[in-house]
Amino acid sequence: QVQLVESGGGLVKPGESLTLSCAASGFTFSDYYMSWIRQAPGKGLEWVSYIGSSGTYTRYADSVKGRFTISRDNAKNSLYLQMNSLRAEDTAVYYCARRIEGGDDYWGQGTLVTVSS
Protein backbone atom coordinates (compact mmCIF):
# COMPACT_ATOMS: atom_id res chain seq x y z
CA GLN A 1 0.00 0.00 0.00
CA VAL A 2 1.07 3.57 -0.61
CA GLN A 3 2.87 5.11 2.35
CA LEU A 4 4.36 8.55 2.77
CA VAL A 5 6.26 9.31 5.96
CA GLU A 6 7.52 12.81 6.66
CA SER A 7 10.33 13.63 9.04
CA GLY A 8 12.64 16.47 9.96
CA GLY A 9 10.24 18.88 11.61
CA GLY A 10 11.06 20.68 14.83
CA LEU A 11 11.55 23.99 16.61
CA VAL A 12 13.82 26.52 14.94
CA LYS A 13 14.50 30.22 15.37
CA PRO A 14 13.57 32.85 12.79
CA GLY A 15 16.17 33.03 10.05
CA GLU A 16 17.33 29.45 10.54
CA SER A 17 17.10 26.55 8.10
CA LEU A 18 15.51 23.12 8.18
CA THR A 19 15.19 20.24 5.73
CA LEU A 20 12.13 18.03 5.63
CA SER A 21 12.16 14.54 4.17
CA CYS A 22 9.39 12.29 2.91
CA ALA A 23 10.00 8.57 2.50
CA ALA A 24 7.74 6.94 -0.08
CA SER A 25 6.84 3.29 -0.49
CA GLY A 26 4.22 1.08 -2.09
CA PHE A 27 4.36 2.66 -5.55
CA THR A 28 6.83 3.51 -8.30
CA PHE A 29 8.04 6.81 -6.89
CA SER A 30 9.78 7.92 -10.06
CA ASP A 31 6.49 7.83 -12.00
CA TYR A 32 4.78 10.55 -9.98
CA TYR A 33 4.87 14.27 -9.33
CA MET A 34 5.08 15.03 -5.62
CA SER A 35 3.80 17.94 -3.54
CA TRP A 36 4.43 19.72 -0.25
CA ILE A 37 1.36 21.24 1.37
CA ARG A 38 1.24 22.94 4.75
CA GLN A 39 -1.36 23.83 7.34
CA ALA A 40 -0.78 26.50 9.96
CA PRO A 41 -2.32 25.80 13.38
CA GLY A 42 -6.09 26.16 13.15
CA LYS A 43 -5.92 27.28 9.52
CA GLY A 44 -6.64 25.83 6.10
CA LEU A 45 -4.45 24.07 3.58
CA GLU A 46 -1.76 26.02 1.73
CA TRP A 47 0.06 24.55 -1.24
CA VAL A 48 3.82 25.04 -0.97
CA SER A 49 5.51 23.37 -3.92
CA TYR A 50 5.53 20.48 -6.32
CA ILE A 51 8.15 18.67 -8.36
CA GLY A 52 7.96 16.67 -11.55
CA SER A 53 8.70 12.98 -11.70
CA SER A 54 12.29 13.42 -12.86
CA GLY A 55 12.98 16.39 -10.63
CA THR A 56 13.59 18.93 -13.36
CA TYR A 57 10.21 20.68 -13.14
CA THR A 58 9.37 22.60 -9.97
CA ARG A 59 6.81 25.19 -8.87
CA TYR A 60 6.53 27.21 -5.69
CA ALA A 61 3.97 29.34 -3.90
CA ASP A 62 4.91 33.02 -3.86
CA SER A 63 5.10 32.88 -0.06
CA VAL A 64 8.11 30.54 -0.17
CA LYS A 65 9.71 31.30 -3.54
CA GLY A 66 13.41 32.02 -3.16
CA ARG A 67 13.54 30.56 0.37
CA PHE A 68 12.39 26.93 -0.08
CA THR A 69 13.77 24.32 -2.47
CA ILE A 70 12.02 21.10 -3.34
CA SER A 71 14.04 18.12 -4.55
CA ARG A 72 13.82 14.38 -4.86
CA ASP A 73 16.04 11.32 -5.01
CA ASN A 74 14.28 8.67 -7.06
CA ALA A 75 16.91 6.09 -6.20
CA LYS A 76 16.04 6.54 -2.52
CA ASN A 77 12.28 7.02 -3.04
CA SER A 78 12.56 10.27 -1.14
CA LEU A 79 11.24 13.81 -1.40
CA TYR A 80 12.82 16.79 0.31
CA LEU A 81 12.03 20.38 1.21
CA GLN A 82 14.96 22.61 2.07
CA MET A 83 13.64 25.61 4.00
CA ASN A 84 15.87 28.65 4.50
CA SER A 85 15.29 32.02 6.16
CA LEU A 86 12.40 30.63 8.12
CA ARG A 87 9.78 33.02 9.46
CA ALA A 88 7.16 32.76 12.17
CA GLU A 89 4.50 32.50 9.47
CA ASP A 90 6.11 29.30 8.18
CA THR A 91 4.96 27.55 11.37
CA ALA A 92 2.73 24.72 10.20
CA VAL A 93 2.27 21.01 9.76
CA TYR A 94 3.95 20.09 6.48
CA TYR A 95 2.46 17.26 4.44
CA CYS A 96 3.98 15.51 1.48
CA ALA A 97 1.53 14.13 -1.04
CA ARG A 98 1.53 12.16 -4.27
CA ARG A 99 0.23 14.30 -7.10
CA ILE A 100 -1.98 13.05 -9.90
CA GLU A 101 -3.40 15.19 -12.65
CA GLY A 102 -6.61 15.94 -10.83
CA GLY A 103 -5.34 16.33 -7.28
CA ASP A 104 -3.16 14.85 -4.53
CA ASP A 105 -4.24 11.30 -3.90
CA TYR A 106 -2.11 10.11 -0.99
CA TRP A 107 -0.89 12.21 1.93
CA GLY A 108 1.57 11.57 4.72
CA GLN A 109 0.75 12.14 8.36
CA GLY A 110 2.62 15.44 8.43
CA THR A 111 5.54 16.88 10.36
CA LEU A 112 5.30 20.00 12.52
CA VAL A 113 7.63 22.92 11.95
CA THR A 114 7.62 25.64 14.60
CA VAL A 115 9.50 28.86 14.00
CA SER A 116 9.87 30.83 17.20
CA SER A 117 12.52 32.71 19.12
- Looking at this protein, which amino acid is placed at residue 17? S
- Contacts with other proteins by CB under 8 A: the residue count is 22
Q: Answer yes or no: are the C-beta atoms of 78 and 103 closer than 8 Å.
A: no
Interatomic CA distance for residues 83 and 70, integer angstroms = 9
User: From the CA atom positions of the chain, what is the Rg in Å?
Assistant: 13
Nearer to other proteins, 103 or 117 (CB): 103
Interatomic CA distance for residues 18 and 90, integer angstroms = 11
Binding mask 39-78 for other proteins (x = CB under 8 A): -----xxxx--x--------x-xx----------------
Nearer to other proteins, 16 or 105 (CB): 105
Under rule CB under 8 A, residue 103 binds other proteins: yes
Among 21, 71, 78, 106, binds other proteins (CB under 8 A): 106
Under rule CB under 8 A, residue 109 binds other proteins: yes
Supply φ then ψ for residue 31, to 5 degrees. -90, -10
Under rule CB under 8 A, residue 105 binds other proteins: yes
How many Cβ atoms from other residues are within 10 Å of residue 54's Cβ? 10
The binding site for other proteins (CB under 8 A) comprises 35, 37, 44-47, 50, 59, 61-62, 95, 100-110
